[in-house]
Amino acid sequence: MNRRQFVGALGQGSVAAVLGLNASRLLGQSSGHEPPVDCSPPSHGAAKHITFNTSAQVLPRKSVWDLSSTESARLASAYAALRALTVSNPNDPRGWMQQANVHCFNCSGGYQASNVEIHGGWWFLPWHRCYLHVHERILGKLIGDPTFRLAYWDWDTYPRHAIVPPPFMTPGALYDQYRGADATDVIPASITGPAHMKIVMGTQGTRAFMGGVSDPVHNHFPAGAMENSPHGPVHIWTGETNPSESPEPPGCLYPNTPGGQPMDQSQNGCLDMGVLATAAQDPVFFAHHSNIDRLWDVWLQTPGSQGNWNTSTWLNHPFNFYDENGDWVYITVADVLAQKEQSNLRYTYQPPQSATPLAAVVGGQNRRTRVKTTGAKLKQLTVVSTPAGTAVGTKPHVRSVTVPQTHLKGLQALAAGGPRRFTLHIDGLTLPSNESTIVDVYVGEPNANRTTEIGPSFVGTFSLVVPGMHHAHPAVRDAAFELRPETAALMVGQKKLTVTLVPKLVNGAEPAKSNLTYKRIYLTEGDN
Ligand code: C2O
């Protein structure tokens, strides 16, 4: 019996008692609500720069499947110690719930005073890398083992490892009862299968892969390809694997907390992993993010990759954490990049021992140059512009414009294998804060639908993971998709830019409803 059937059988009232919510889960959570209404950090003074242990051994982070039984037991004992700390001292900033709240208070609205949002843009990859590092140090310290390293969940070793890693499904410290995924559920191929991974990992542009400059003041949150998918859908899938089969209500174990909106799991999104505010309460979060972090390194080595951002605003940006001694510290982005990743953080990623090397999967031209702007850029080609917002709905949503001669020339060059200078933008994607969404985006395939295979017309996936229902304001994102030569060829043949948005649940079913709207769809050329 999985969690949803279990909940359905018991009814919501008795669930908390049976699962011991008040006894174990909520211990250490100040408010007693789920998810935390306010997950602000315990009080602290000014942050000091973290001290890196540059003489520690450099050791591999391995796939969970490549751990020896000793290493697997060590992983479980580290999380057991983390959970025990939350029980013995709920205010210790290193304990399990406090650690999970670090993720929560870095999500917009989780900690109202901060207005920090490390999702939806260029902070996404480096912030999570820093978070993994302090988390790894804390776990190592708690078990007195400086050689402890995290393990990653290589869901892209498909389909063999596209299941919740078995040690995380075994009763014990790595297990989380708030998951929709059962031991035999496999992540759909459209999320982590080879065809999708090839497109994501073959993305060349820095903004397209890593995300762009986020601007909370103007509500611009441009997530990159990796964050949009597979990152988001794997969260949603782990939390709620078969949303269309869930009993309603309640499905999710969120009580309808006063002041909060009830979670609507029919729209994807459920405890723990399916909601950003609670995601890091599930130990598999750290295995998931270790894989994202590993794939960032793989991407940097992939032919055509334009590499990391290199502006000082990004490089010098500090993130705050509690370290393994409970001290409030900061780490800058530059601290964790390139050779610093190894010299400061003391790990390498050992490739999955049983997988096809990703470079062989991605292929592509052996060229690593930043795209130079030569001459004037083409004007933006607008497909839709509706400042008040256009509803996407639950069925495929198609919009089209004729491509002018000026743009056809450039697209022909791209179709012939020229540099990837064209970007499709969807701006102002907006959702209420209790709803997640997954939308596949196609260009040049007017009849694309939920069964369309990933091919030349597929440009990417937009996803949004529920921040948490206490985050009062709607979530807003800007999406950008780099066009590939084969997609440009379709546009040249049709002399049209036809964009099809295909909403779907994480299991591929049609959503029962959707409140997703957007403001603009347009094409740009040159650096964006
Ligand atoms: Cu901070 Cu996977 O989300």
Which two three-digit tokens encode residue 382?
A: 């607008």
CA 392 – CA 394 distance, rounded (Å): 7
Mean pLDDT lowest among 12-26, 359-373, 458-472: 12-26
Whether 119 lines ligand 1, by a CB cut-off of 6 Å, is yes
Instruction: Give the distance (Å) from ligand 1 centre to CA of residue 467.
Output: 10
C-beta of residue 209 within 8 angstroms of C-beta of residue 305: yes
> For residue 393, is pLDDT > 50?
yes
**Tell me, what's the pLDDT at 278?**
86
Per-residue model confidence as pLDDT tens digits over 439-484 = 999 999 999 999 999 999 999 999 998 877 555 678 889 999 999 9
Q: Mean pLDDT across the stretch 377-382?
A: 92
Q: Please tell me the residue having the least CA distance from ligand 1 atom 3.
A: 276
Residues with Cβ within 8 Å of 410's Cβ and at least 6 positions away in sequence, in order, are 378, 421, 422, 525
Where does the pLDDT of residue 63 fall: very low under 50, low under 70, confident under 90, or very high at 90 and above? very high
**Residue, of 182 and 361, whose pLDDT is higher:** 182
> 220: which DSSP letter?
B
Instruction: Give the distance (Å) from ligand 1 centre to CA of residue 276.
Output: 6
The pTM is what? 0.90
Instruction: Give the distance (Å) from ligand 1 centre to CA of residue 120.
Output: 10
> For residue 340, is pLDDT > 90?
yes
Whether 279 lines ligand 1, by a CB cut-off of 6 Å, is yes
CA 396 – CA 446 distance, rounded (Å): 9
Mean pLDDT lowest among 112-121, 134-143, 165-174: 112-121
Mean pLDDT lowest among 211-225, 325-339, 341-355: 211-225
Whether 103 lines ligand 1, by a CB cut-off of 6 Å, is yes
Residues with Cβ within 8 Å of 68's Cβ and at least 6 positions away in sequence, in order, are none
Torsion angles phi and psi, residue 331, rounded to 5: -130, 135
Reported in sequence order, the residue ranges of 260-411 that DSSP labels E, i.e. its strands, are: 318-322, 328-332, 347-349, 381-391, 397-402
End-to-end CA distance of the chain: 49
Indicate which atom in ligand 1 lies nearest the CA of residue 107.
1
**Tell me, what's the pLDDT at 480?**
96
Instruction: Give the distance (Å) from ligand 1 centre to CA of residue 413.
Output: 37
Per-residue model confidence as pLDDT tens digits over 189-245 = 999 999 999 999 999 999 999 999 998 888 889 999 999 999 999 999 998 887 776
**Tell me, what's the pLDDT at 5?**
39
Per-residue model confidence as pLDDT tens digits over 394-410 = 999 999 999 999 999 99
pLDDT over 70 for what percent of the chain? Answer: 81
Per-residue model confidence as pLDDT tens digits over 188-205 = 999 999 999 999 999 999
> For residue 372, is pLDDT > 50?
no
> 38: which DSSP letter?
-
Q: Mean pLDDT across the stretch 256-266?
A: 48
Per-residue model confidence as pLDDT tens digits over 136-147 = 999 999 999 999
Indicate which atom in ligand 1 lies nearest the CA of residue 124.
1
**Tell me, what's the pLDDT at 27?**
29
CA 284 – CA 293 distance, rounded (Å): 14
- Residue 67: how many CB atoms within 10 A of its CB? 16
> For residue 22, is pLDDT > 80?
no
Indicate which atom in ligand 1 lies nearest the CA of residue 276.
3
C-beta of residue 189 within 8 angstroms of C-beta of residue 159: yes
**Tell me, what's the pLDDT at 360?**
56
> For residue 505, is pLDDT > 50?
yes
| Mean pLDDT of all residues belonging to the chain | 85
Per-residue model confidence as pLDDT tens digits over 274-304 = 888 889 999 999 999 999 999 999 999 999 9
Whether 107 lines ligand 1, by a CB cut-off of 6 Å, is no
Residues with Cβ within 8 Å of 266's Cβ and at least 6 positions away in sequence, in order, are 243, 244, 246, 248, 251, 511, 512, 513
> For residue 249, is pLDDT > 50?
no
Q: How far is residue 274 CA from its own chain's centroid?
A: 10
Q: Which amino acid is at 14?
A: S
**Tell me, what's the pLDDT at 361?**
56
**Tell me, what's the pLDDT at 112?**
53
